[in-house]
Each structure stands twice: as C-alpha cells, then as structure tokens.
Structure 1
Amino acid sequence: MALLQSPSICFPLALLLSLLINSSHCFNPKSLNISKVQSNGDWSPAGATWYGSPDGAGSDGGACGYGSGVDQAPFSSMVSAGGPSLFKSGKGCGACYQVKCTENAACSGKPVTVVITDECPGGPCVAESAHFDLSGTAFGAMASSGKADELRNAGVLQIQYKKVKCKFPGVEVAFHVDSGSNPYYFSALIEYANGDGELGSVKLKQALDSDSWHPMQQSWGAVWKLDGAGQLRAPFSIKLTSLESGKTLVAKHVIPAGWQPGQTYRSVVNFAV
C-alpha cells in the first residue's frame, strides 16, 4: 500500500498507462508485424515472383546448366531462379530453401522446398535483399488447395524463407560431361549433391596419378572445368567440397576409361544428411 500511495511512484505509473492507451508511438501493429516476420525463428523475409508456364519448371535449367531435367525427379519442377544474394554468381546453384507465404488470402502458410537452378538478374530480383523467381509449379505449391491460380495472379509476394539441407533420397551425385570435353579439356555439370547443395571447390585426380588432385575452376553455374593440365587419362576420381560446411566427398573413378562427351555418369556416393 505504501508503494501505491507514493507520489513519486504513482505519477510514472499513470503516465505509462496513458501512453499505452493513447499514444500511437507506443503501439504500432504494422511495425509489430514486420518485427515478427524478421524474428520468426530462422525465417527471413524475401520477395517472390514466378516465370514460365503456370504448371512448368520456369526454364530448361537456365544459368545453372541443369538442362531440361529440372522438370523430372528429384527436382520435379520445384525450382527457382535466385536473385544475386541467392545465386551467388553460380555458387548458389543446387542450394535448397524452404519458402512459404502468409500475407495473401490464397496462401496456405505451409513451407515448400525449392532448389536454385537459375539466375534472376534484374527487375524485382535486385530490389529485394533476397528474391525468388519461382517456377509456376513451385509458386502455386505455396497456395491453399484449389487456389494456385489465384495466388499466381497476385503478382509480387512477400514471403518467408530459410536455407535447408538438400535431401535427394536414393539419388547419388551425377556428372554430365560437357559436349566440348576432350583428352586435354574436361568439363562437367555436377548435380544432386545432398547437404549444402552448393560446392566450394572441385578437384580431379587421374588414374595414373594416385597422389595429385588438380583443382577445377567453376566455368559457369554448376559446371566445373579443368584446362591446361596436359593430356588427361581416365578413369577420373572427383573430390567435392561443400561451400558452407567444408565437408568433402570423393567419387572414386566416377568418369570411366572410354568416357564420352555428352554422357552422364552417376557416382555411388553422396553427402550424408
């Protein structure tokens, strides 16, 4: 009772109650909602659009080089082009993200997983700190049942996203040899890496060289090359190092003797997740 009767205490309490009830500075629902989005666990805000056909895969692999296979398992058209912070000049190819929308009446609020397979270079892609230009299939997957077309008609969406580990059950890392490869120049598209999805470095070892690993350079997207190492003798082993975790994986003798440009060679290994 003594505390309640003290003038020095009662005045601040009354002032505080007045501010809470009457002042617009102390309670701004819009600001509060933005704060919730920005601090919602591991989720971060991003912009989202879609491209290609409504039920398609966006493009035929685009700037990552995956080709027409993006509409088939394990990608199954659940792919996206990424703005600069996601594409990372091609190093972001193969990374997996969960995305969800909640701010449109057609949104389900449930997350779906997409893989970065292309680059989104301009327009809204550079206006946001992070932007997903999703395939029509992936964009529609964020909608409630029966409302995919309604959501696709909404234009630019504000969504939430977080990076997750890639998981391709029963699928091993594959190497699609570039059509321009020859005994003195080797180039291959690398796909379906579990875990980070992104590759920080790639090295090649020849059959006749049991100790030396030759560093490969990123050619473009998910394509890596080795040039200037002289005549190469297969079979080749290829060592992959993840960009973020630094984990390594060796696909031993994955490129056989007698390999052919344009062929895809599947390893029997993948990163553990």
Structure 2
Amino acid sequence: MELLNFKHQLGLICVMLLLPVLCTSQDTFTCSRATYYGSPDCYGNPRGACGFGEYGKIVNDGNVAGVSWLWKNGSGCGACYQVRCKIPQFCDDYGAYVVVTDFGVGDRTDFVMSPRGYSRLGKNADASAELFKYGVVDVEYKRVPCRYNGYNILLKVHERSNNPHYLAILIIYIGGTNDITAVDLWQEDCKDWRPMRRAFGAVFDAENPPRGDIKLRFQVRGSAGLNWVESKNVISSDWNAGAVYDSEIQLD
C-alpha cells in the first residue's frame, strides 16, 4: 500500500482536528443524536424524573424530551432547546423546540423525545413518518430561551408535602436560559436563610419548615453568572399539597 505523503497526512490531521469545531461552530449548535419514547397519547411522561407531574406532560403542547448529561442532576429540568436533524430530504430547517422534563438515555443520544416533539423534526407528516422508521437520527442542538407569555414563575407545593412537618416545592415556568441551582427559605427566628435540599429533579424540600408564611429565594445560573433572586410573594402559613403560588417574578 502506498504511504500518504506528508502533505496528505497533514491535511488529514487538520480535518480530524477541525471536526469537533465544525460540530459546534454553526451558531453554537452541538452535534448529537436523538430518539423517541413510546407514549399512548404522544404527550410527555407525567412520571418523569424532574417531578413535574401533569405539567411535564402538557407543557409546550407536549413537545418535551428526556436528556442525559444535560439533565445536570436536576438543574437542567425545564431548559428549552432547539433540536434539528440532519437528513436534508426529511428534516425541517428549524426543527423542534422542546422542554426538558425527564432524564433519558438512548443509543448514544442526548435527547429522548416525546413522539410529538420527535415528529416536529420532519418537514411534513410523510417526512416525520420516515424519521420514526430510523428510530435514532443525527441532530444538532442549542439552548434557547424559554418563553411563557402571561406566566410568572409558579411555586407548587408537592403532593408529598405535609403541613407543618414536611414541605416540598416544585418551581415551574422558569423563563430565559436560566437554571435554578439552589433554593433557600427564610428562618425568621434565626434571621437567616436556610437551604432546602434538592429531593429529586426539580423538587426541593425541607423537614420541619418555619411556621407562618414562608419566604423563598432562588440561586439562578444564567448568562450573568450566579445570582440570588427572591420571590415577591410568600407561601401562606396554611399551605397544603397541590397549592400553587405566584412568585410575581419572571427571569429573562
């Protein structure tokens, strides 16, 4: 076999070195793979690892996804992504806009999408049907802002909560490209903030929470780095499982 001359070897090395750059340089898109999971109604999974419940089934009209390393131990829950596949004859130029509601691992995939979300990858119904036959497709994706027009961040008291002994909360409708990395509650008797525990996914909890109205603040990771943002509203002292409170704030 004839050996490659030095010029050809150098060219091959340059191409190999550039491949990772080519996968991330197109308007900050990252190369990956995506698949889908079975669903009787094509919507999301209300039992997803983020703990979103019915919200995780219907948010974004059911265009949702489970992710692997993007899950970030739960702080990636609620993040929004633009995902587009790379088969020109079948794939829509814009692709799908999906919200992370679950943890999911496929065949070297970053996204395990609801059937509704996966179908949005195709140019039309016929193209989407062809993509379903593939099962797994090459994609590129990027983080995009979540937009919840008309909604502030809502605080939902989780169904496992039991006043006054145990409080768990779920934070939903987080706008922009922000992650909630920690939650504190105000301890009035100590005049100090007390950290809540990330119980699982996007659910934070505390045993023996303070009596009376409960004030919360959130540690937010976004384009401006890490910042603390305090809710303008409180969780009332008579809180019960299932109650929802408007924080009266939204993140850009």
Give TM-score, length-normalised by structure 1.
0.78
8 Å Cα contact 1:78/1:137 also seen in 2? yes
Match of 1:6 in 2: none
Code of the aligned partner of 1:239: R
* CA–CA separation in structure 2 for the residues paired with 1:201 and 1:139: 31
2:56 maps to a residue whose letter is: V
Residue 192 of structure 1 is matched in structure 2 by: 173
Name the structure 2 match of 1:86: 70
Counterpart for residue 143 of structure 1:
122
Closer/same/farther in 2, CA of residues 268 and 231 from structure 1, 3 Å limit: closer
Q: 237, 246, 265: which is aligned to 2:215?
A: 237
Aligned with 1:72: secondary structure? helix
Pair 1:155–1:173, CA change in 2 (3 A): same
For residue 269 of structure 1, give the secondary structure of its aligned residue in structure 2: coil
Aligned CA distance change for structure 1 residues 78 and 197 (closer, same or farther; 3 Å)? farther
| Offset, 1:263 | 2.0
Which deviates more from structure 2 when the two are superposed, residues 93-102 or residues 209-218? 209-218
2:53 is matched with which residue?
A: 67
Shift of 1:54: 7.7
Distance 2:61 2:189 in 1: 39
Show CA shifts across 1:138-182 (max 9, x none): 111111022222222221111001112222121111122123322
**Structure 1's 34 and 223: CA in aligned 2 closer, same or farther, altered over 3 A?**
closer
Partners of 2:135 and 2:10 in 1: how far apart?
32
Task: Tell me which structure has the larger Cα radius of gyration.
Answer: 1
Structure 1 vs Structure 2 CA RMSD: 2.8
**Unpaired segments ≥5 residues, structure 1:** 1-18
Give the whole-Å Cα distance in 2 for the aligned partners of 1:241 and 1:34.
32
Aligned partner of 1:221 in structure 2 is 201
CA contact (8 A) 2:47 2:53 kept: yes
Q: Deviations over 1:232-267 (max 9, x none)?
A: 213111111113431332113431121112222222
Is the CA contact 1:80–1:134 (under 8 Å) kept in the aligned structure 2? yes
The match for 2:140 among 126, 138, 160 is 160
Letter in 2 for 1:238: L
Q: Distance in 2 between matches of 1:34 and 1:259?
A: 51
3-state DSSP of counterpart to 2:152:
coil
Once residues 172 and 204 of structure 2 are traced to their aligned partners in structure 1, the CA distance between those partners, rounded to angstroms, is 11
Unmatched 5+ stretches in structure 2: 1-5
Q: Which amino acid aligns with 1:142?
A: L
String of CA shifts for 1:3-36, please: whole Å, max 9, x gaps. Answer: xxxxxxxxxxxxxxxx99xx698589x9788763
Cα distance between partner residues in 1 of 2:42 and 2:231: 32
Select between 160-169 and 46-55 the one with higher mean Cα deviation. 46-55
Distance 2:209 2:50 in 1: 28
Count how many residue pairs are aligned between Structure 1 and Structure 2: 242
Distance 1:209 1:166, change over 3 A: farther
1:12 corresponds to:
none
Question: What are the Cα deviations for residues 59-82 of structure 1, in whole angstroms up to 9, with x where unaligned?
Answer: 115000111223434x22121100
Describe the superposition over 1:72-100 as per-residue Cα deviations: whole angstroms up to 9, x where unpaired: 34x221211001x1112212111121111
TM-score, structure 2 normalization: 0.84
Instruction: Give the superposition deviation at 1:47.
Output: 0.9
What percentage of residue pairs aligned between the two structures are identical? 30
Distance (Å, rounded) in 2 between the aligned partners of 1:173 and 1:144: 34
Matched, 1:77 2:56: no
Q: Are 1:94 and 1:115, in contact at CA under 8 Å, matched by a contact in 2?
A: yes
Partner of 2:160: 180
